[in-house]
Amino acid sequence: MIRTLIAMLLGLYLGMAGSAGLAATGVAFVHGTGKQTDAYNDYWKPAFVNSVRQGLSNQSNYVVINCDFEQYMWKSQAAGCLAGQLTSFINARGITDLVVITHSNGGNVIRWIMSNPTYDSRYPNIVSKIRWVNALAPSSKGTPLADAVTAGNVFEQSLGWLLGYQSDAVRMQQVSWMAFYNANYLYGTSGRPALPKGFWSVVGTDVETAIWDGDSYCGGYTLNLGLEITQAWLDSCSDGFLNCSSQNGAGRVWFYDTSRMAGGEPLSHNQSRRACFGLDVILRNDI
């Protein structure tokens, strides 16, 4: 209800501003863990990006970020790279109203920018342009899988894209490490200052991999199967990579998957960055 009311009021304001030639809405797609050079094709896929950007009045006002999120979130290759690409996008397109769509560890990187405005001179301008962040399965409180990988446990090769194995970003997402960062450097979690702009989480609650169910193939059956295997390390409410308690750990929950997805389907961690079960349409309409 709160989210809907904010959206209605913001829509009225932007409509008035747009009629006066003041508002230019854009959307930025911020990937999760990994070193991306073509996140449009490799991480999000064209079907997802091109569906979501249909919600823009000018469908050219979008950017797909490509950064090295195998680094700690504050590093120049991570938050610095993100700040640089967002700044270039904002300046080149005259963006005054920016919706950020991020996934997994990308939520931590954008939270770093919003939580530490004095760390980089580019941060305040970016934050001032952000309308809100739609965080798809954000790893706000880390994941036991990062602990397991760091401890040397071996996971299916199909999860290489997801974990990056023993990178700094994976070490950072250990549960105790994220608790430290949340308590000292990041805003938005319980007991900490609120983030300066809305951080709205979409929470994935399960993984389904029935071979006879076509829905299990959305986003890639093999990847979903790997995520179902890793649920053995997680709570019953999880998307195969993150417990629900991590995904809903910062900002506010926008919705849990089964309450909004077509057919009440859950979203695995892989499916929450894909055009699965109407997720792309919800994000499109939100813009």
Measured N-to-C along each axis, helices 106-115 and 81-93 cross at an angle, to the nearest 10 degrees, of 80
Longest dimension (CA), the chain: 58
CB 35 within 8 Å of CB 70: yes
Mean pLDDT, the chain, whole residue set: 91
Confidence of residue 95 (pLDDT cuts 50, 70, 90): very high
CATH of the domain at 270: 3.40.50.1820
**Closest C-alpha among 92, 20, 82, 93 to residue 56:** 93
User: Between these two residues, 15 and 91, which has the higher pLDDT value?
Assistant: 91
**pLDDT > 70: what percent of the chain?**
87
Q: Which helix (H) or strand (E) holds 131?
A: strand 130-136
Only one residue has tokens 């747009």, namely 18
pLDDT for 157 beyond 50: no
Q: 20-25 — which CB contacts under 8 Å span 24+ positions?
A: 22/96, 23/96, 23/97, 24/58, 24/61, 24/93, 24/94, 24/95, 24/96, 24/97, 25/56, 25/57, 25/58, 25/61, 25/95, 25/96, 25/97, 25/98, 25/99, 25/131, 25/287
The arithmetic mean of pLDDT across residues 61-72, rounded, is 97
Q: Does residue 12 sit within a domain?
A: no
3-state SS class at 27:
strand
CA atoms within 13 A on the CB side of 61: 21
How many domains are contained in the chain? 1
User: Between these two residues, 13 and 255, which has the higher pLDDT value?
Assistant: 255
Q: Does residue 13 sit within a domain?
A: no
What is the pLDDT at residue 1? 60
The arithmetic mean of pLDDT across residues 192-217, rounded, is 96
Q: Does residue 18 sit within a domain?
A: no
Q: Does residue 16 sit within a domain?
A: no
- Global pTM? 0.91
CA atoms within 13 A on the CB side of 137: 28
Q: Does residue 8 sit within a domain?
A: no
For residue 197, what are the domain limits? 23-286
CA distance 204 to 250: 15
- 70: tokens are 């195998």
pLDDT tens readout for residues 9-50: 555 555 544 444 557 999 999 999 999 999 999 999 999 999
**What is the torsional sign of CA 16, 17, 23, 25?**
negative
- Beta-carbon neighbour count of residue 45 at 10 Å? 17
Q: Does residue 40 sit within a domain?
A: yes
Q: Does residue 266 sit within a domain?
A: yes
Q: Does residue 217 sit within a domain?
A: yes
